Chain A
Amino acid sequence: MTAQLPILQIIVPLLAAPICAVLRHGRAAAWLAVLASWSALAIALALLGQVMAGGVVSYHIGDWVPPIGIEYRVDIVNAWVLVIVASMGAVVAPYSVKSVEHEIASRRIPLFYAAYLLCLSGLLGITITGDMFNVFVFLEISSLSAYALISLGRPRRALTAAYRYLIMGSVGATFIVIGIGLLYVMTGSLNMADLAELLPGVWDSRTVKVAYGFLGVGVCLKLALFPLHLWLPNAYAFAPSPVTAFMASTATKVAVYMLLRFFLSIFGAAFSFDVMALDRVLLPLALVAVVSMSLVAIFQVDVKRLLAYSSVAQIGYMILGLSFASVTGLTATLLHLFNHALMKGALFMALGCVVYRIGSVHIDAMAGLGKRMPWTMAAFVVGGLSLVGVPLTVGFISKWYLILGALEKGGPWTAVAVLVLATSVMALVYVWRVVEAAYLREFSGDETTGEAPLSLLAPTWVLVAANLYFGIDAVRTAGVARQAAEVLMAGIGS
């Protein structure tokens, strides 16, 4: 049984999805989704345990030996990402039960869960597979279901937002498949481990470099790196609340993982940093993303959009860590994958609670909510503080490693550290605008407005608690992230 874990990781949610679709009963589909996502989490944790105990787990589908057959290959890096994605899937699923009943027409609810599980299995698939073409297949599964999920949002603009994401996402996916094709032309292989061995022989060829470019642009579109982020704010703002929470905490994280996997494992850290100067390409983009998007976030009045722009800025932090080209920097990136999932998950879920009660997340509509929905707003405050990077929250841990990474490099990199801290202050501004509205202004809405139901609050507070717990005891998470960073940077000095 344990030997089959890698395939079960995908099969369980993938098979539960069509069953949800045919169930035609909202609650039944919901509980099936909960069950499937929790099993996925259990499997992901078991895989992480296996990897930490015994190194790389390799699974050959249908017993076809790679590089001919498709291989699922789990090392510490993707075991870590699997846990992130599966945890968020497992927390958001029970949250959806009530939230979705409120935000989506009842006949579409089973379809929602089908799409949700498909998206989950697609993201898990991208992460687990050791085969390039398989990445593309899962990418399409996750993307198509994501377009559907976003379009379910109540505002009519959700449709255009989904359409825009569809166009941009398809361009990205096409770029990725072109890149994969070029690599196949050059090496005749699609297996990642195999490619990693074959590619150094053809490093000099222009085709490989072009493939590198196509893959880079394609992946950066998916992970919404500035200036390829234009699809993201609307998609997050108009999607149903659980979808936003899920997408914000998983989809971009998996895209960052793809970037790391392609450029550091397959092409190799040495090729990326020494030949392609990846760090010098990414650094300015990351800095501009962090600064400009934090600035834009300050001026948003729709809190969901505000957090969406903040997400683009936070992705900038992850890419910034990568551009340090050091183990500490990469540790920061990998830690922030997890930590940002926790904080944005908590924040978007708190907003979902607000939508459930007052139907809007406009900053003026949220005035005075601190008294009406004390638990929801307290969750928002903790999540917000984490976003700012206040100590004892996960945000602080990420920031610590990011700044440490910059200072370790010394010289002009000190300015990068200063910039990171300056943007934390910007985060304080945009978070505090909401907090101030909620606590220091008078409530003007319906007098009967009360706290959100427990089924929404409980998952939200699970994430809030995680924000605090992993902020106080980060030795384990930082340990895994560091191990993973060392694996990715193998062959290059720290």
Chain B
Amino acid sequence: MSIELLLALSLAVPAAGTLLILLLRENPNAREAASLVTAGALFAIVLRIYGVVSSGERPELVLAEPIRGIPIALEAEPLGVLFALIASFLWIVTTMYSIGYMRGHHEKNQTRFYVFFAFAIASVMGVAFAGNLFTLFVFYEILSLTTFPLVTHAGTDAARRAGRVYLGILFGTSIAFQLLAIVWTYAVAGTLDFQAGGILDGRLAGIAVPVLLGLFVFGIGKAAVMPFHRWLPAAMVAPTPVSALLHAVAVVKAGVFSVLKISVYVFGIDFLAGAGASVWLMWAAAATIILGSLVAFTKDNLKARLAYSTVSQLSYVVLGAMLANSWGVIGSGLHILMHAFGKITLFFCAGAIMVAAHKSEVSQLKGLGRTMPVTFGAFFIGTLSIVGLPPTGGSWSKWFLGVGSLEAGQVGLMAVLMVSSLLSLAYLMEIPLKGFFHKPDEPPHHEGIHEGPKWSLVAIVTTAVACLALFLYPEPFYRLMTMVAGP
């Protein structure tokens, strides 16, 4: 099969999956099987693309040409492949998890849920394989639209308000800043293609460079750099699988992925470092890292705490891109991966606790670890990975980000990384500690509570084990990132 066809299939398969899901809506078992099969097929396709790209090829495919010289084109390059691998693999796991969760939680409109989920994944693939800025923008916007019905799934007043914030910030920033930045880029560079080394070198100088970069970073609202982070906690009204895959992995990572991709392929890290354009944004990211952690402390609602933790962690990726050196880029790319596995584990656990024990606040979790040992054990591993402690994958990305900060001569940023690690250790570790070591307030209450649905448990164990495995085998992903960052 030709590799270009595979690129097209990476979008077409999840899109076609929605049809299958719709057709099988009368039979929930067949419908969920369709979701799983689609997810598996997609992962197989992405693996195949990975094989080709890691051998140095860059397959391309033009889908349409809306404006002369600005096609909608797909191109597979290492960074995009890394992102696609993460998203498509975790889609399989999340689908398994959803089956347990959605049934255990008796959610309504499950068909609509699975349909829009598949659409969202198709748009994520478009973001991952976008061959130019315009294509990236197109799929970025489609992703906002396809996830809106998932966020407002409950249909309550709270969901409606959250949907308003969600779409308002994501669309608002993308139209007001990102689109402006894209047209500006086109006006000065005459092209929107992603190229190694960037397209702006020699075409833009002075104060314009940091301003343009700022428009991109803040225009990509999905990266949740403060003050445009409010949509992420708001999106937590969605069912937990959505929060897990989309708002810990796919959507937010699409944001930071875009930031990284634009830094590397539109600006070029050498150009950024030379112009010193990214220094002010390093500090914007650093501020988000610290403030996000501090806010997370104040949240008693488990999902809200995880959301603010995500806000903080996303800025690690942004920070890595803004460091504008190879170590920073490698650390940034690896953090997309490591944080994805760590945070999805935490969300899975939060969802399992909600379904099995109907607890959503941190303060209610005392002693629950003894009735749900697997869930709380997985939460512990996920926490280690987020904090960046061995033996979990998270330690690698923290390591490279640290090296990158020193290389950029920013000792202050190194300190920020350390402080935020401590903060995250404190606010996340509280949960397994409470679960295992605190005495429950009113003991008899825990009768009838046991581990979550078995489908969900499989998913939780898978991602937790992956966190550990990534500590031992980060090699393939490290190699992909060195291809992006250059020697």
Q: Indicate if A400 sits at the interface (CB-CB under 8 A).
A: yes
Per-residue A-contact encoding for B126-163, CB less than 8 Å = 1, 0 else: 00000000100110011001000000100100011001
B323-377 interface with A by 8 A CB criterion = none
Q: Given the complex, which residues of A lie within 8 Å of B483, measured CB to CB? A: none
**Are A388 and B175 CB-contacts (below 8 A) given A432-B164, A472-B64, A478-B67?**
yes
Please choose the segment from B20-28, B29-37, B183-191, B306-314 that sits at the chain A interface, where 4 or more of its residues have CB less than 8 A away: B183-191
Q: When the two chains form the complex, which single residue of B138, B142, B172 contacts A425, counting CB atoms closer than 8 Å?
A: B172
Closest chain A residue to B177, Cβ basis:
A421
Q: When the two chains form the complex, which single residue of A397, A403, A473 contacts B179, counting CB atoms closer than 8 Å?
A: A403
Q: Indicate if A46 sits at the interface (CB-CB under 8 A).
A: no
Q: Given the complex, which residues of B lie within 8 Å of A373, measured CB to CB? A: none
CB of A418 within 8 A of CB of B66, answer: no
Q: Indicate if A390 sits at the interface (CB-CB under 8 A).
A: yes
Closest chain A residue to B184, Cβ basis:
A407
Q: Indicate if A428 sits at the interface (CB-CB under 8 A).
A: yes
A485 nearest CB across to chain B (Å)? 15
Q: When the two chains form the complex, which single residue of A400, A474, A478 contacts B183, counting CB atoms closer than 8 Å?
A: A400
CB of B141 within 8 A of CB of A391, answer: yes
Per-residue B-contact encoding for A171-215, CB less than 8 Å = 1, 0 else: 000000000000000000000000000000000000000000000
Q: Indicate if B429 sits at the interface (CB-CB under 8 A).
A: no
CB of A391 within 8 A of CB of B138, answer: yes
**Are A474 and B175 CB-contacts (below 8 A) given A392-B138, A403-B180, A403-B183?**
no
CB of B175 within 8 A of CB of A408, answer: no
Q: Given the complex, which residues of B lie within 8 Å of A421, measured CB to CB? A: 175-177, 179-180
Q: Indicate if B441 sits at the interface (CB-CB under 8 A).
A: no
Q: Indicate if A89 sits at the interface (CB-CB under 8 A).
A: no
A376-423 interface with B by 8 A CB criterion = 385, 388-392, 397, 399-400, 403-404, 407-408, 417-418, 421-422
Q: Given the complex, which residues of B lie within 8 Å of A479, measured CB to CB? A: 68
Q: When the two chains form the complex, which single residue of A403, A424, A439, A478 contacts B68, counting CB atoms closer than 8 Å?
A: A478
Q: Indicate if B91 sits at the interface (CB-CB under 8 A).
A: no
Q: Indicate if A440 sits at the interface (CB-CB under 8 A).
A: yes
Per-residue B-contact encoding for A442-477, CB less than 8 Å = 1, 0 else: 000000000000000000000000000001111100
Could you tell me the distance between the alpha carbons of A421 and B176 in the complex, rounded to whole angstroms?
5
Could you tell me the distance between the alpha carbons of A94 and B160 in the complex, rounded to whole angstroms?
38
**Are A475 and B176 CB-contacts (below 8 A) given A391-B137, A436-B164?**
no
Q: Indicate if B257 sits at the interface (CB-CB under 8 A).
A: no
Per-residue A-contact encoding for B189-205, CB less than 8 Å = 1, 0 else: 00000000000000000
CB of A474 within 8 A of CB of B67, answer: yes
Q: Given the complex, which residues of B lie within 8 Å of A417, measured CB to CB? A: 180, 183
Closest chain A residue to B171, Cβ basis:
A428
B223-265 interface with A by 8 A CB criterion = none
CB of A440 within 8 A of CB of B67, answer: no
Could you tell me the distance between the alpha carbons of A466 and B183 in the complex, rounded to whole angstroms?
24
Closest chain B residue to A420, Cβ basis:
B180
CB of B160 within 8 A of CB of A436, answer: yes
CB of B186 within 8 A of CB of A428, answer: no
CB of B187 within 8 A of CB of A407, answer: yes
Closest chain A residue to B185, Cβ basis:
A407
CB of A471 within 8 A of CB of B66, answer: yes
Q: Indicate if B167 sits at the interface (CB-CB under 8 A).
A: yes
Q: When the two chains form the complex, which single residue of B72, B171, B175, B186 contacts A404, counting CB atoms closer than 8 Å?
A: B186
Closest chain A residue to B167, Cβ basis:
A432
Chain A: residues with Cβ within 8 Å of the partner, total of 33
Q: Indicate if B65 sits at the interface (CB-CB under 8 A).
A: yes
Could you tell me the distance between the alpha carbons of A418 and B64 in the complex, rounded to whole angstroms?
28
Q: When the two chains form the complex, which single residue of B67, B160, B179 contacts A475, counting CB atoms closer than 8 Å?
A: B67
A88 nearest CB across to chain B (Å)? 22
Could you tell me the distance between the alpha carbons of A338 and B116 in the complex, rounded to whole angstroms?
32
Q: Given the complex, which residues of A lie within 8 Å of B137, measured CB to CB? A: 391
Q: Given the complex, which residues of A lie within 8 Å of B134, measured CB to CB? A: 391
Could you tell me the distance between the alpha carbons of A348 and B134 in the complex, rounded to whole angstroms?
30
Closest chain A residue to B137, Cβ basis:
A391
Q: Given the complex, which residues of B lie within 8 Å of A436, measured CB to CB? A: 160, 163-164
CB of B187 within 8 A of CB of A404, answer: yes
Q: Given the complex, which residues of B lie within 8 Å of A422, measured CB to CB? A: 176
CB of A392 within 8 A of CB of B186, answer: no
Q: Given the complex, which residues of A lie within 8 Å of B65, measured CB to CB? A: 473, 475
Could you tell me the distance between the alpha carbons of A421 and B65 in the complex, rounded to whole angstroms?
23
Could you tell me the distance between the alpha carbons of A210 and B184 in the complex, rounded to whole angstroms?
40
CB of A440 within 8 A of CB of B163, answer: yes
Could you tell me the distance between the alpha carbons of A321 and B134 in the complex, rounded to whole angstroms?
22
A80 nearest CB across to chain B (Å)? 18
**Are A407 and B183 CB-contacts (below 8 A) given A472-B64, A473-B66?**
yes
Give the most central of A385, A389, A432: most B CB within 10 Å: A432
B350 nearest CB across to chain A (Å)? 25
Closest chain A residue to B65, Cβ basis:
A475
Q: Given the complex, which residues of A lie within 8 Å of B179, measured CB to CB? A: 399, 403, 421
CB of A472 within 8 A of CB of B66, answer: yes
B79 nearest CB across to chain A (Å)? 22
A478 nearest CB across to chain B (Å)? 6
CB of A428 within 8 A of CB of B183, answer: no
Q: Given the complex, which residues of B lie within 8 Å of A439, measured CB to CB? A: 152
Could you tell me the distance between the alpha carbons of A392 and B141 in the complex, rounded to whole angstroms?
10
CB of A428 within 8 A of CB of B172, answer: yes
Give the most central of A418, A472, A479: most B CB within 10 Å: A472
Closest chain B residue to A428, Cβ basis:
B171
Q: Given the complex, which residues of A lie within 8 Å of B177, measured CB to CB? A: 421
Q: Given the complex, which residues of A lie within 8 Å of B183, measured CB to CB? A: 400, 403-404, 407, 417
Could you tell me the distance between the alpha carbons of A385 and B68 in the complex, rounded to whole angstroms?
22
B276 nearest CB across to chain A (Å)? 22
B190 nearest CB across to chain A (Å)? 11
Closest chain B residue to A394, Cβ basis:
B66
Could you tell me the distance between the alpha carbons of A404 and B184 in the complex, rounded to whole angstroms?
7
Q: Given the complex, which residues of A lie within 8 Å of B184, measured CB to CB? A: 407
Closest chain B residue to A478, Cβ basis:
B67
Closest chain A residue to B135, Cβ basis:
A391
Could you tell me the distance between the alpha carbons of A440 and B155 in the complex, rounded to whole angstroms?
6
B63-89 interface with A by 8 A CB criterion = 64-68, 72
CB of A440 within 8 A of CB of B159, answer: yes
Q: Given the complex, which residues of B lie within 8 Å of A432, measured CB to CB? A: 164, 167-168
B465 nearest CB across to chain A (Å)? 39
CB of A474 within 8 A of CB of B176, answer: no
Closest chain B residue to A391, Cβ basis:
B138
Give the most central of A389, A391, A404, A421: most B CB within 10 Å: A391
**Are A418 and B171 CB-contacts (below 8 A) given A397-B67, A440-B152, A475-B66?**
no
**Are A425 and B66 CB-contacts (below 8 A) given A407-B187, A418-B180, A436-B164?**
no
A99 nearest CB across to chain B (Å)? 30
Q: Given the complex, which residues of B lie within 8 Å of A390, measured CB to CB? A: 141, 145
Closest chain B residue to A440, Cβ basis:
B160
Closest chain B residue to A396, Cβ basis:
B66
A486 nearest CB across to chain B (Å)? 15
Closest chain A residue to B211, Cβ basis:
A414
Could you tell me the distance between the alpha carbons of A388 and B170 in the complex, rounded to whole angstroms?
14
Could you tell me the distance between the alpha carbons of A439 and B68 in the complex, rounded to whole angstroms?
37
Q: Given the complex, which residues of B lie within 8 Å of A388, measured CB to CB? A: 171, 175
Q: Given the complex, which residues of A lie within 8 Å of B168, measured CB to CB? A: 428-429, 432
Closest chain B residue to A421, Cβ basis:
B176
CB of B66 within 8 A of CB of A474, answer: yes
CB of B171 within 8 A of CB of A425, answer: yes
Could you tell me the distance between the alpha carbons of A436 and B187 in the complex, rounded to whole angstroms?
36
Could you tell me the distance between the alpha carbons of A326 and B186 in the complex, rounded to whole angstroms?
18
Q: When the two chains form the complex, which single residue of A407, A428, A471, A475 contacts B175, counting CB atoms closer than 8 Å?
A: A428
**Which 8 A-B pairs rank lowest in CB-CB distance, beginning with the nearest?**
A407-B187, A391-B138, A403-B183, A440-B160, A421-B176, A424-B175, A425-B172, A474-B66
11 chain-A/chain-B pairs, Cβ below 8 angstroms: A403-B179, A404-B186, A407-B183, A408-B187, A425-B171, A432-B168, A440-B159, A472-B64, A472-B72, A474-B67, A475-B68
With A388-B171, A407-B187 known, 12 other A-B pairs at CB within 8 A are A391-B141, A403-B179, A404-B186, A421-B176, A422-B176, A424-B176, A472-B72, A473-B64, A473-B65, A475-B66, A475-B67, A475-B68
